[in-house]
Amino acid sequence: MAKIYVADKDTLDSVKETAEATSEKVDGVQNTANAILSELQGQRPKRYGFRVKIAEPDPEARVEYIYDAVGMTPAAMNFSSGVFNFGSWADVWFVRDNYPAMVKYDGTEDYRLNPNDYTKKLTDNTASDVANTGYGGNAMTAIPCCWVKRWEENGYRYVSICETQYDEGYKAYAHTRADGSIEKIHYYPMFKGCMVDGKLRSLSGQYPQYSTTAQAERDAAKANGAAWDLRNWAMDELLADLLVLMSKTTNSQAAFGQGQTTGYVNDAGQHYGHILSGTLNDKGQFFGYSDTTNAVKVFHMENFWGGRWDRMVGLLYINGVFHAKMTPEGDGYNFVGTGYTPVCDGVPGSGNGSGWQKATTQTEYGCLPAGELTGSDATYETDYHWWNNAITAVCLRGGNCSRGSWCGARYLHADDTASGANWALGGSLSCETPS
Protein backbone atom coordinates (compact mmCIF):
# COMPACT_ATOMS: atom_id res chain seq x y z
CA MET A 1 0.00 0.00 0.00
CA ALA A 2 1.43 3.40 -1.02
CA LYS A 3 2.37 5.82 1.74
CA ILE A 4 0.69 9.20 1.98
CA TYR A 5 2.93 12.12 3.01
CA VAL A 6 1.48 15.26 4.55
CA ALA A 7 3.59 18.44 4.41
CA ASP A 8 3.93 20.56 7.50
CA LYS A 9 2.35 24.04 7.73
CA ASP A 10 5.56 25.96 6.94
CA THR A 11 6.06 23.96 3.75
CA LEU A 12 2.44 24.46 2.66
CA ASP A 13 2.67 28.22 3.28
CA SER A 14 5.88 28.41 1.25
CA VAL A 15 4.34 26.53 -1.67
CA LYS A 16 1.27 28.79 -1.54
CA GLU A 17 3.40 31.96 -1.62
CA THR A 18 5.43 30.64 -4.56
CA ALA A 19 2.25 29.73 -6.49
CA GLU A 20 0.70 33.14 -5.86
CA ALA A 21 3.86 34.93 -6.99
CA THR A 22 4.04 32.80 -10.11
CA SER A 23 0.37 33.44 -10.85
CA GLU A 24 0.90 37.19 -10.49
CA LYS A 25 3.81 37.03 -12.95
CA VAL A 26 1.73 35.02 -15.44
CA ASP A 27 -1.19 37.42 -15.07
CA GLY A 28 1.19 40.33 -15.53
CA VAL A 29 2.61 38.88 -18.72
CA GLN A 30 -0.90 38.12 -20.00
CA ASN A 31 -2.14 41.62 -19.17
CA THR A 32 0.84 43.14 -20.92
CA ALA A 33 0.25 40.93 -23.97
CA ASN A 34 -3.42 41.90 -24.04
CA ALA A 35 -2.54 45.58 -23.81
CA ILE A 36 -0.06 45.29 -26.69
CA LEU A 37 -2.58 43.37 -28.81
CA SER A 38 -5.26 45.96 -28.09
CA GLU A 39 -2.89 48.77 -29.07
CA LEU A 40 -1.94 47.01 -32.30
CA GLN A 41 -5.56 46.31 -33.16
CA GLY A 42 -6.37 49.97 -32.63
CA GLN A 43 -3.58 51.02 -34.97
CA ARG A 44 -4.15 48.61 -37.84
CA PRO A 45 -6.54 49.60 -40.64
CA LYS A 46 -9.98 48.09 -40.32
CA ARG A 47 -11.23 45.57 -42.86
CA TYR A 48 -14.97 45.29 -43.37
CA GLY A 49 -15.83 42.07 -45.10
CA PHE A 50 -18.45 39.49 -45.91
CA ARG A 51 -18.62 36.03 -47.32
CA VAL A 52 -21.48 34.50 -49.30
CA LYS A 53 -22.29 30.81 -49.08
CA ILE A 54 -22.76 30.09 -52.76
CA ALA A 55 -25.06 27.07 -52.30
CA GLU A 56 -27.39 28.82 -49.81
CA PRO A 57 -30.52 30.17 -51.55
CA ASP A 58 -31.76 32.54 -48.79
CA PRO A 59 -30.44 36.06 -49.64
CA GLU A 60 -29.91 36.96 -45.97
CA ALA A 61 -28.82 33.60 -44.56
CA ARG A 62 -26.11 33.24 -47.21
CA VAL A 63 -24.27 36.45 -46.17
CA GLU A 64 -21.98 36.38 -43.13
CA TYR A 65 -19.88 39.25 -41.78
CA ILE A 66 -16.12 38.75 -41.40
CA TYR A 67 -13.21 40.75 -39.95
CA ASP A 68 -14.24 44.09 -38.43
CA ALA A 69 -17.79 43.82 -39.77
CA VAL A 70 -18.56 41.05 -37.26
CA GLY A 71 -21.23 42.25 -34.83
CA MET A 72 -22.27 45.25 -36.91
CA THR A 73 -25.94 46.02 -37.57
CA PRO A 74 -26.99 45.92 -41.24
CA ALA A 75 -28.47 48.97 -42.97
CA ALA A 76 -31.86 48.99 -44.71
CA MET A 77 -34.70 51.22 -45.80
CA ASN A 78 -37.66 51.33 -43.42
CA PHE A 79 -40.47 51.48 -45.95
CA SER A 80 -43.14 52.02 -43.28
CA SER A 81 -41.56 55.11 -41.71
CA GLY A 82 -39.92 56.39 -44.88
CA VAL A 83 -36.56 56.65 -43.08
CA PHE A 84 -33.31 54.94 -44.03
CA ASN A 85 -31.71 53.02 -41.14
CA PHE A 86 -27.92 53.19 -41.43
CA GLY A 87 -27.40 50.48 -38.80
CA SER A 88 -23.71 50.54 -37.81
CA TRP A 89 -22.51 52.04 -41.08
CA ALA A 90 -23.10 55.81 -40.84
CA ASP A 91 -19.57 56.57 -39.60
CA VAL A 92 -17.65 54.13 -41.81
CA TRP A 93 -15.58 56.13 -44.31
CA PHE A 94 -17.27 55.01 -47.54
CA VAL A 95 -20.61 56.25 -46.17
CA ARG A 96 -19.38 59.15 -44.02
CA ASP A 97 -17.18 60.67 -46.74
CA ASN A 98 -19.59 60.21 -49.65
CA TYR A 99 -21.19 63.51 -50.69
CA PRO A 100 -22.99 65.27 -53.60
CA ALA A 101 -21.22 68.06 -55.51
CA MET A 102 -21.18 70.14 -58.66
CA VAL A 103 -18.11 69.26 -60.72
CA LYS A 104 -16.77 71.49 -63.48
CA TYR A 105 -15.89 70.31 -66.97
CA ASP A 106 -12.18 70.24 -66.09
CA GLY A 107 -12.90 67.65 -63.38
CA THR A 108 -12.40 70.00 -60.42
CA GLU A 109 -15.02 70.31 -57.72
CA ASP A 110 -16.93 73.59 -57.74
CA TYR A 111 -18.95 73.23 -54.53
CA ARG A 112 -20.81 70.69 -52.43
CA LEU A 113 -24.57 70.34 -52.40
CA ASN A 114 -26.81 70.18 -49.36
CA PRO A 115 -27.03 66.38 -48.89
CA ASN A 116 -30.70 66.62 -47.92
CA ASP A 117 -31.72 69.16 -50.58
CA TYR A 118 -29.70 69.19 -53.78
CA THR A 119 -31.34 72.41 -54.94
CA LYS A 120 -29.24 74.23 -52.31
CA LYS A 121 -25.50 74.74 -51.85
CA LEU A 122 -24.04 73.26 -48.68
CA THR A 123 -22.14 76.36 -47.58
CA ASP A 124 -24.87 79.01 -47.54
CA ASN A 125 -28.06 77.21 -48.63
CA THR A 126 -28.41 79.46 -51.67
CA ALA A 127 -29.72 78.04 -54.95
CA SER A 128 -27.52 75.44 -56.60
CA ASP A 129 -26.98 74.61 -60.27
CA VAL A 130 -28.23 71.04 -59.95
CA ALA A 131 -30.88 71.66 -62.64
CA ASN A 132 -29.08 74.38 -64.63
CA THR A 133 -28.43 73.17 -68.19
CA GLY A 134 -26.22 76.24 -68.75
CA TYR A 135 -23.86 75.29 -65.92
CA GLY A 136 -20.36 74.28 -67.03
CA GLY A 137 -20.31 70.92 -65.33
CA ASN A 138 -22.41 68.18 -63.77
CA ALA A 139 -24.03 66.99 -60.56
CA MET A 140 -21.89 64.13 -59.27
CA THR A 141 -21.53 61.96 -56.18
CA ALA A 142 -18.05 61.63 -54.66
CA ILE A 143 -17.18 58.00 -53.88
CA PRO A 144 -14.23 57.71 -51.41
CA CYS A 145 -11.31 55.44 -52.24
CA CYS A 146 -11.77 51.78 -51.32
CA TRP A 147 -9.20 48.99 -51.50
CA VAL A 148 -10.87 45.67 -52.29
CA LYS A 149 -9.84 42.04 -52.06
CA ARG A 150 -12.08 39.40 -53.67
CA TRP A 151 -11.66 35.65 -53.78
CA GLU A 152 -13.54 32.33 -53.76
CA GLU A 153 -12.74 29.40 -51.48
CA ASN A 154 -14.42 26.22 -50.18
CA GLY A 155 -17.91 27.07 -51.39
CA TYR A 156 -17.82 30.72 -50.32
CA ARG A 157 -17.10 33.94 -52.14
CA TYR A 158 -15.30 36.61 -50.13
CA VAL A 159 -15.08 40.40 -50.31
CA SER A 160 -13.00 42.56 -47.97
CA ILE A 161 -12.95 46.38 -48.10
CA CYS A 162 -10.26 48.57 -46.53
CA GLU A 163 -9.57 52.32 -46.46
CA THR A 164 -5.89 51.67 -47.23
CA GLN A 165 -4.00 48.91 -49.00
CA TYR A 166 -4.00 46.29 -46.25
CA ASP A 167 -1.74 43.98 -48.27
CA GLU A 168 -0.85 43.36 -51.91
CA GLY A 169 -4.09 41.46 -52.49
CA TYR A 170 -6.12 44.66 -52.06
CA LYS A 171 -6.71 46.69 -55.24
CA ALA A 172 -8.15 50.19 -55.74
CA TYR A 173 -9.33 49.47 -59.28
CA ALA A 174 -12.31 51.84 -59.11
CA HIS A 175 -10.04 54.71 -58.02
CA THR A 176 -7.08 54.19 -60.35
CA ARG A 177 -6.46 57.02 -62.80
CA ALA A 178 -5.28 56.61 -66.39
CA ASP A 179 -1.72 57.45 -65.26
CA GLY A 180 -1.82 54.71 -62.60
CA SER A 181 -2.09 57.02 -59.58
CA ILE A 182 -4.82 56.54 -56.97
CA GLU A 183 -7.68 59.01 -56.47
CA LYS A 184 -8.94 59.96 -53.01
CA ILE A 185 -12.42 60.16 -54.54
CA HIS A 186 -14.00 59.32 -57.88
CA TYR A 187 -17.09 61.06 -59.22
CA TYR A 188 -20.11 59.07 -60.32
CA PRO A 189 -23.43 60.38 -61.72
CA MET A 190 -26.12 61.60 -59.36
CA PHE A 191 -28.61 61.18 -62.22
CA LYS A 192 -29.06 59.10 -65.35
CA GLY A 193 -27.30 60.65 -68.32
CA CYS A 194 -29.32 63.18 -70.31
CA MET A 195 -28.36 64.82 -73.61
CA VAL A 196 -27.89 68.62 -73.67
CA ASP A 197 -26.36 70.28 -76.73
CA GLY A 198 -24.48 67.15 -77.72
CA LYS A 199 -23.07 66.50 -74.25
CA LEU A 200 -24.00 63.65 -71.94
CA ARG A 201 -24.93 65.39 -68.68
CA SER A 202 -25.92 64.58 -65.08
CA LEU A 203 -28.57 67.12 -64.08
CA SER A 204 -31.88 67.25 -62.23
CA GLY A 205 -35.18 67.78 -64.05
CA GLN A 206 -34.23 65.90 -67.22
CA TYR A 207 -35.41 62.73 -68.94
CA PRO A 208 -32.68 60.11 -69.45
CA GLN A 209 -31.27 59.85 -72.96
CA TYR A 210 -31.71 56.61 -74.91
CA SER A 211 -31.64 55.04 -78.40
CA THR A 212 -27.94 55.77 -79.00
CA THR A 213 -25.01 53.48 -79.72
CA ALA A 214 -22.21 52.79 -77.26
CA GLN A 215 -19.74 54.92 -79.18
CA ALA A 216 -22.21 57.81 -79.49
CA GLU A 217 -22.75 57.73 -75.72
CA ARG A 218 -19.04 57.64 -75.02
CA ASP A 219 -18.36 60.49 -77.44
CA ALA A 220 -21.06 62.53 -75.72
CA ALA A 221 -19.54 61.80 -72.32
CA LYS A 222 -16.10 62.88 -73.50
CA ALA A 223 -17.56 66.07 -74.96
CA ASN A 224 -17.57 67.32 -71.34
CA GLY A 225 -13.77 67.14 -71.26
CA ALA A 226 -10.82 64.76 -70.96
CA ALA A 227 -11.72 63.69 -67.40
CA TRP A 228 -15.11 62.26 -68.39
CA ASP A 229 -16.29 58.85 -69.57
CA LEU A 230 -19.19 56.42 -69.17
CA ARG A 231 -19.89 54.50 -65.99
CA ASN A 232 -17.33 51.74 -65.57
CA TRP A 233 -17.43 48.13 -64.39
CA ALA A 234 -14.88 48.57 -61.59
CA MET A 235 -16.92 51.26 -59.81
CA ASP A 236 -20.25 49.58 -60.48
CA GLU A 237 -18.97 46.35 -58.95
CA LEU A 238 -17.48 48.18 -55.96
CA LEU A 239 -20.84 49.83 -55.26
CA ALA A 240 -22.64 46.49 -55.62
CA ASP A 241 -20.24 44.95 -53.09
CA LEU A 242 -20.70 47.86 -50.68
CA LEU A 243 -24.47 47.41 -50.81
CA VAL A 244 -24.16 43.72 -49.89
CA LEU A 245 -21.76 44.66 -47.10
CA MET A 246 -24.04 47.34 -45.67
CA SER A 247 -27.29 45.36 -45.93
CA LYS A 248 -26.00 41.82 -45.26
CA THR A 249 -28.18 40.45 -48.05
CA THR A 250 -27.88 39.80 -51.77
CA ASN A 251 -31.39 41.19 -52.32
CA SER A 252 -30.70 44.86 -53.06
CA GLN A 253 -34.31 45.70 -53.88
CA ALA A 254 -35.59 44.37 -50.56
CA ALA A 255 -32.97 46.32 -48.61
CA PHE A 256 -32.84 49.64 -50.47
CA GLY A 257 -35.97 49.93 -52.62
CA GLN A 258 -37.61 48.43 -55.69
CA GLY A 259 -36.69 51.29 -58.01
CA GLN A 260 -38.71 52.45 -60.99
CA THR A 261 -39.10 49.03 -62.56
CA THR A 262 -42.61 49.38 -64.03
CA GLY A 263 -44.38 52.10 -65.99
CA TYR A 264 -43.14 51.37 -69.53
CA VAL A 265 -45.24 53.10 -72.18
CA ASN A 266 -44.80 52.25 -75.86
CA ASP A 267 -44.73 55.92 -76.82
CA ALA A 268 -41.67 58.04 -77.54
CA GLY A 269 -43.73 61.15 -76.79
CA GLN A 270 -43.99 59.96 -73.21
CA HIS A 271 -40.32 58.93 -73.09
CA TYR A 272 -41.41 55.30 -72.87
CA GLY A 273 -42.39 55.75 -69.24
CA HIS A 274 -39.04 57.11 -68.02
CA ILE A 275 -39.40 59.62 -65.20
CA LEU A 276 -37.65 62.96 -64.75
CA SER A 277 -34.44 62.99 -62.75
CA GLY A 278 -34.41 64.66 -59.35
CA THR A 279 -37.55 63.17 -57.81
CA LEU A 280 -35.44 62.21 -54.76
CA ASN A 281 -33.53 65.51 -54.44
CA ASP A 282 -34.69 66.03 -50.85
CA LYS A 283 -34.41 62.40 -49.64
CA GLY A 284 -30.82 62.18 -48.45
CA GLN A 285 -28.01 59.77 -49.26
CA PHE A 286 -30.03 56.53 -49.45
CA PHE A 287 -33.75 56.27 -50.12
CA GLY A 288 -36.25 53.93 -51.69
CA TYR A 289 -39.84 52.76 -51.86
CA SER A 290 -41.46 49.34 -51.69
CA ASP A 291 -43.50 50.15 -54.82
CA THR A 292 -42.16 49.88 -58.38
CA THR A 293 -43.10 53.31 -59.72
CA ASN A 294 -40.58 55.50 -57.86
CA ALA A 295 -36.82 55.89 -58.17
CA VAL A 296 -34.31 54.41 -55.73
CA LYS A 297 -31.17 56.16 -54.48
CA VAL A 298 -27.89 54.79 -53.05
CA PHE A 299 -24.76 56.83 -52.28
CA HIS A 300 -26.54 59.98 -53.59
CA MET A 301 -26.96 58.18 -56.93
CA GLU A 302 -30.49 58.08 -58.32
CA ASN A 303 -31.63 54.98 -60.21
CA PHE A 304 -28.60 52.75 -59.70
CA TRP A 305 -31.10 50.16 -60.94
CA GLY A 306 -34.38 50.59 -62.79
CA GLY A 307 -35.56 53.35 -65.08
CA ARG A 308 -33.19 52.59 -67.92
CA TRP A 309 -30.21 50.26 -68.49
CA ASP A 310 -26.76 51.84 -68.15
CA ARG A 311 -24.06 50.91 -70.63
CA MET A 312 -20.62 50.47 -69.03
CA VAL A 313 -17.04 50.53 -70.18
CA GLY A 314 -14.68 47.92 -68.74
CA LEU A 315 -16.75 44.73 -69.12
CA LEU A 316 -17.35 42.82 -72.35
CA TYR A 317 -18.86 39.39 -72.98
CA ILE A 318 -16.97 37.94 -75.94
CA ASN A 319 -18.31 34.67 -77.37
CA GLY A 320 -19.27 33.33 -73.95
CA VAL A 321 -16.31 34.65 -71.95
CA PHE A 322 -16.34 37.72 -69.71
CA HIS A 323 -13.44 40.12 -70.34
CA ALA A 324 -12.65 42.95 -67.93
CA LYS A 325 -10.53 46.07 -67.94
CA MET A 326 -10.55 47.41 -64.42
CA THR A 327 -8.75 50.73 -64.97
CA PRO A 328 -8.30 53.24 -67.83
CA GLU A 329 -4.53 52.75 -67.86
CA GLY A 330 -2.70 52.12 -71.12
CA ASP A 331 -4.85 52.74 -74.17
CA GLY A 332 -8.02 53.16 -72.14
CA TYR A 333 -11.34 51.44 -72.70
CA ASN A 334 -12.81 50.16 -75.96
CA PHE A 335 -15.69 48.02 -77.19
CA VAL A 336 -13.71 45.27 -78.91
CA GLY A 337 -11.64 43.80 -76.07
CA THR A 338 -8.13 45.04 -76.84
CA GLY A 339 -6.20 45.15 -73.58
CA TYR A 340 -8.99 43.39 -71.67
CA THR A 341 -8.35 40.35 -69.44
CA PRO A 342 -10.35 37.12 -69.89
CA VAL A 343 -12.01 36.57 -66.51
CA CYS A 344 -14.32 33.56 -66.64
CA ASP A 345 -16.82 31.67 -68.76
CA GLY A 346 -20.42 32.74 -68.59
CA VAL A 347 -23.47 30.57 -69.17
CA PRO A 348 -22.51 27.54 -71.30
CA GLY A 349 -24.23 26.73 -74.57
CA SER A 350 -24.77 28.23 -77.97
CA GLY A 351 -26.99 31.10 -78.96
CA ASN A 352 -28.51 33.29 -76.27
CA GLY A 353 -30.89 33.16 -73.33
CA SER A 354 -31.81 34.53 -69.93
CA GLY A 355 -32.71 33.54 -66.40
CA TRP A 356 -32.33 34.23 -62.69
CA GLN A 357 -28.75 34.25 -61.46
CA LYS A 358 -27.73 31.34 -59.24
CA ALA A 359 -24.25 30.05 -60.08
CA THR A 360 -21.51 32.70 -59.93
CA THR A 361 -17.77 32.98 -60.26
CA GLN A 362 -15.94 35.32 -57.87
CA THR A 363 -12.61 36.71 -59.04
CA GLU A 364 -10.56 39.76 -58.13
CA TYR A 365 -12.35 41.45 -61.06
CA GLY A 366 -15.81 40.93 -59.58
CA CYS A 367 -18.67 38.48 -59.22
CA LEU A 368 -20.13 37.26 -62.51
CA PRO A 369 -22.99 34.91 -63.44
CA ALA A 370 -21.62 31.59 -64.65
CA GLY A 371 -23.50 28.34 -65.09
CA GLU A 372 -27.10 27.58 -64.33
CA LEU A 373 -29.70 30.35 -64.23
CA THR A 374 -32.24 28.65 -61.97
CA GLY A 375 -32.64 31.16 -59.16
CA SER A 376 -35.59 33.50 -58.55
CA ASP A 377 -36.41 37.02 -57.42
CA ALA A 378 -36.28 35.80 -53.80
CA THR A 379 -33.31 33.38 -53.88
CA TYR A 380 -29.55 33.45 -54.49
CA GLU A 381 -28.60 36.72 -56.26
CA THR A 382 -32.30 37.72 -56.76
CA ASP A 383 -31.30 39.48 -60.02
CA TYR A 384 -31.76 38.46 -63.65
CA HIS A 385 -29.21 37.91 -66.42
CA TRP A 386 -29.26 37.99 -70.23
CA TRP A 387 -26.48 36.39 -72.27
CA ASN A 388 -25.46 35.82 -75.88
CA ASN A 389 -22.52 33.54 -76.65
CA ALA A 390 -22.36 34.43 -80.34
CA ILE A 391 -21.43 38.13 -80.11
CA THR A 392 -19.17 40.67 -78.45
CA ALA A 393 -21.60 42.20 -75.97
CA VAL A 394 -21.08 45.53 -74.22
CA CYS A 395 -22.48 44.86 -70.76
CA LEU A 396 -25.38 46.82 -69.26
CA ARG A 397 -26.30 47.18 -65.59
CA GLY A 398 -29.42 47.70 -63.50
CA GLY A 399 -32.50 47.10 -65.65
CA ASN A 400 -35.35 49.29 -66.88
CA CYS A 401 -38.94 50.32 -66.22
CA SER A 402 -40.43 47.18 -67.76
CA ARG A 403 -38.54 44.53 -65.78
CA GLY A 404 -39.97 44.62 -62.24
CA SER A 405 -38.26 42.27 -59.80
CA TRP A 406 -35.71 41.23 -62.42
CA CYS A 407 -33.87 44.46 -61.60
CA GLY A 408 -31.29 45.13 -58.90
CA ALA A 409 -27.70 46.10 -58.21
CA ARG A 410 -26.35 43.02 -60.04
CA TYR A 411 -28.88 42.71 -62.88
CA LEU A 412 -26.52 42.18 -65.81
CA HIS A 413 -27.25 42.26 -69.53
CA ALA A 414 -24.74 40.72 -71.95
CA ASP A 415 -26.90 40.45 -75.06
CA ASP A 416 -26.29 43.70 -76.96
CA THR A 417 -23.44 44.73 -79.23
CA ALA A 418 -21.94 48.22 -79.21
CA SER A 419 -24.32 49.15 -82.02
CA GLY A 420 -27.39 48.28 -79.98
CA ALA A 421 -29.72 51.26 -79.56
CA ASN A 422 -33.27 51.31 -78.19
CA TRP A 423 -35.57 52.98 -75.65
CA ALA A 424 -34.33 50.84 -72.75
CA LEU A 425 -30.63 51.67 -72.65
CA GLY A 426 -28.25 54.63 -72.59
CA GLY A 427 -25.19 56.06 -70.90
CA SER A 428 -24.33 57.97 -67.72
CA LEU A 429 -21.21 59.81 -66.58
CA SER A 430 -18.08 59.00 -64.65
CA CYS A 431 -15.35 61.55 -63.90
CA GLU A 432 -11.71 61.17 -62.95
CA THR A 433 -10.33 63.71 -60.48
CA PRO A 434 -7.22 65.67 -61.57
CA SER A 435 -3.93 64.13 -60.39
What one-letter code names the amino acid at 19?
A
For the cut 80, the answer to whether the pLDDT of residue 27 exceeds it is no
DSSP-assigned letters across all residues of 71-118: TPPPPEEETTTTEEE-TT-TTSHHHHT-EEEEEETTS-EEEEEETTEE
> What is d(CA 421, CA 435) in angstroms, rounded to the nearest whole number?
35
Tens digits of per-residue pLDDT, 330-345? Answer: 999 999 999 999 999 9
Average pLDDT, the chain: 93
pLDDT at 360 over 90: yes
pTM of the model as a whole: 0.91
* pLDDT for residue 44: 83
Across residues 217-227, what is the average pLDDT?
A: 98
Mean pLDDT of 63-87: 98
For the segment 418-425, the average pLDDT, to the nearest whole number, is 97
Q: In this model, does residue 294 exceed pLDDT 60?
A: yes
Is it the case that residue 1 has pLDDT exceeding 60? no
Query: Using CA atoms, how far apart are residues 322 and 393, in angstroms rounded to an integer?
Result: 9
DSSP string, 121-165: ETTT--B-STT-TTSSEEEEEEEEP-EEEEEEETTEEEEEEESS-
Cβ atoms of 156 and 66 within 8 Å: the answer is no
pLDDT of 151-174, one tens digit each? 999 999 999 999 999 999 999 999
Q: Are 235 and 143 in contact (CB under 8 A)?
A: yes
Taking residues 16-41, what's their average pLDDT? 57
Beta bridge partners of 394: 316
* Among candidate residues 388, 206, 176, 419, the one with its CA nearest the CA of residue 308: 206
CB pairs under 8 A, 24+ apart, for 283-287? 283/116, 284/84, 284/115, 284/116, 285/84, 285/95, 285/98, 285/115, 286/75, 286/77, 286/84, 286/86, 286/256, 287/77, 287/84, 287/257
Domain ranges of the chain: 50-431
pLDDT digits (tens, 9 = 90+) for 232-289: 999 999 999 999 999 999 999 999 999 999 999 999 999 999 999 999 999 999 999 9
